[in-house]
Amino acid sequence: MYGGGNIFDEIKPDDVAGEDSIKLAEFEARIDRGEKIEPTDWMPKLYRKQLIRMIEQHAHSEIIGALPEGTWITRAPGFKRKMALMAKVQDEVGHGQLLYSAAETLGKSREQMIDDLINGKSKYSNVFNYPTFTWADCCFISWLVDAGAIVNQLANAKGSYGPYCRALERICAEESFHLKYGHHCVIYLASGTQKQRDMFQEAIYRWWPPMMHFFGPSDKISVHTEILMKWKVKMDTNDNMRNQFLDMYVPKIWELGFTIPDPKLKKNTATGRWEYTEPDWDEFKRVINGGGPCNKERLEVRRIAEERGRWVREALRAPKTEYITPLA
């Protein structure tokens, strides 16, 4: 996981005004040719800024995303699930590490990024501001939130910034295992006892609205990001990615006999697009801005972990003190 629904600032026309027009044209020509931009290459300030923002959000989403699933490691039912979930969540933390490194190539240190996460300046995927009440919630994340992230990440892996694309290729390979694991867990719930089926059905009711939010605000209301798409920072529109997800997974959920809490949800066979009740974007904004059920808890955990670990990081920086035998 867990990129998706990145929040971009509105871009003003003069954001690229100060750039050297020849260099900018060369830069854009390279991107058009499908070349990758590397850390030491020339790039517009706006490109650097937006990439840092996007990769950083993605990295934060990985480490915050480890929390709602991580809390089920100690409760996972049986050896098989326990070991798989541990490995999965560890992968997510590893993705965070990989992505912080990719963002660092653009000039912002990991420490600064983590500080900005804790002080609320940078965001992470909204979906992790919701609680996992049951094992089925955890299975929903492993299967469907990961599935959504894969849609997003496969698109982004074709972007223009070399280090991010390479990180995403590695991440996507691991994600495909997560998806299989999540799907396997859900199959067992779906084909299990009534209690198990009910658990997953309730998880769908709880998680469907945040899942629809996952890909970010509708194209009708989201900020203009044409230049980011031209520079291959953003690879597709939010609605296109949401549509792709629905196309791949709604039939699978229905096939298992579960109900999705949206009476309008259906595929328009003429347009090939999915129709659905417009998600509540006010709720989305409220949660992004700190008003979700778990925002405080997630950041508090991160803050405490950072604070409790400070002495360790300081000790790593300190040179070893050698023991010297007293002369007398």
Partner 1 sequence: MNHEAIKELLYKMADDQLILGHRNSEWTGFGPLLEEDIAFSSMAQDKIGHSLALYTILHELGEQDPDTIAFTRNADQFHNTVFTELPNAEYDFSLIRHFLYDTSEALRFEILSQSSFEPLAQLAIKVRGELRYHTMHANTWIKQLGSATEESISKLQKSLEYALPYALGLFEPSLYESKLINEKVFEGEKALEEKWKKKVEEVIAQTQLQLPNWKTLTPHYGGRIGKHSEHLQPLLDEMSEVLRIDPTAEW
- HSE, side-chain direction, 13 A CA sphere, residue 205: 8
- Binding residue count for partner 1, defined by CB under 8 A: 51
- Could you tell me the smallest distance in angstroms from the CB atom of residue 302 to partner 1? 9
Which span (11-19, 27-35, 172-180, 185-193) binds partner 1, by CB under 8 A? 185-193
- 205 C-beta neighbours (distance < 10 Å), count: 13
Q: How far is the CB of 321 from partner 1 (least distance, A)?
A: 5
| Minimum CB–partner distance for residue 311 and partner 1 (Å) | 5
Binding mask 46-65 for partner 1 (x = CB under 8 A): -----------------x--
Tell whether residue 109 is a contact of partner 1 (CB under 8 A): no
Q: Least distance in Å: CB of 194 to partner 1?
A: 9
* CA pair distance 143, 29, nearest whole angstrom: 39
Q: Which of residues 70-99 bind partner 1 (CB under 8 A)?
A: 70, 72-79, 81-83, 86-87, 89-90, 93-94, 96-97
C-beta closer to partner 1: residue 95 or 242: 95
For residues 200 and 231, which CB has a smaller minimum distance to partner 1 in the complex?
200
What is the DSSP annotation of 112-141? Answer: HHHHHHHTTSS---GGGGS---SHHHHHHI
- Report the 10 Å Cβ neighbour count for 184: 15
If one asks whether residue 12 binds partner 1 (CB under 8 A), the answer comes out as no
d(CA 321, CA 158): 48
Query: Residue 2 CB, nearest distance to partner 1 (Å)?
Result: 13
301 makes contact with partner 1 (CB under 8 A):
yes
Kindly state whether residue 318 participates in binding partner 1, applying the rule CB under 8 A: yes
Beta carbons within 8 Å of 27's beta carbon, 6+ residues apart: 37, 41, 42, 43, 44, 47
Q: Residue 325 interacts with partner 1 (CB under 8 A)?
A: no
> Which residue lies nearer to partner 1 by CB, 146 or 236?
146
Q: How far is the CB of 277 from partner 1 (least distance, A)?
A: 32
**Lookup: tokens for 294:** 């778990």
Instruction: Report the residue from 12, 220, 264, 320 that binds partner 1 according to the rule CB under 8 A.
Output: 320
**In this chain, which stretch among 18-26, 168-176, 280-288, 297-305 interacts with partner 1, using CB under 8 A?**
297-305
Q: Which is nearer to partner 1, 91 or 236 (CB)?
A: 91
- State which of positions 118-137 bind partner 1 (CB under 8 A): 135
245: Cβ–Cβ under 8 A, 6 or more apart, which residues? Answer: 147, 148, 151, 214, 215
37 versus 63: smaller Cβ distance to partner 1: 63
Q: Helices marked H in the chain — which ranges?
A: 21-32, 45-70, 79-104, 110-118, 135-140, 146-156, 162-190, 194-213, 226-230, 238-255, 281-286, 295-308, 310-317
CB atoms within 10 A of CB 68: 22
Given candidates 308, 324, 325, 326, which one binds partner 1 under the rule CB under 8 A? Answer: 308
Distances (CA, A) of 132 to 108, 135, 286: 32, 8, 19
| Token pair for 276 | 């659905």
**Which residues touch 25 (CB under 8 Å, ≥6 apart)?**
none
Residues 6+ apart with CB under 8 A from 235: 155, 156, 158, 159, 229
Contacts with partner 1 by CB under 8 A lie at 63, 66-67, 70, 72-79, 81-83, 86-87, 89-90, 93-94, 96-97, 100, 135, 185, 188-189, 192-193, 195-196, 199, 301, 304-305, 308-316, 318-323
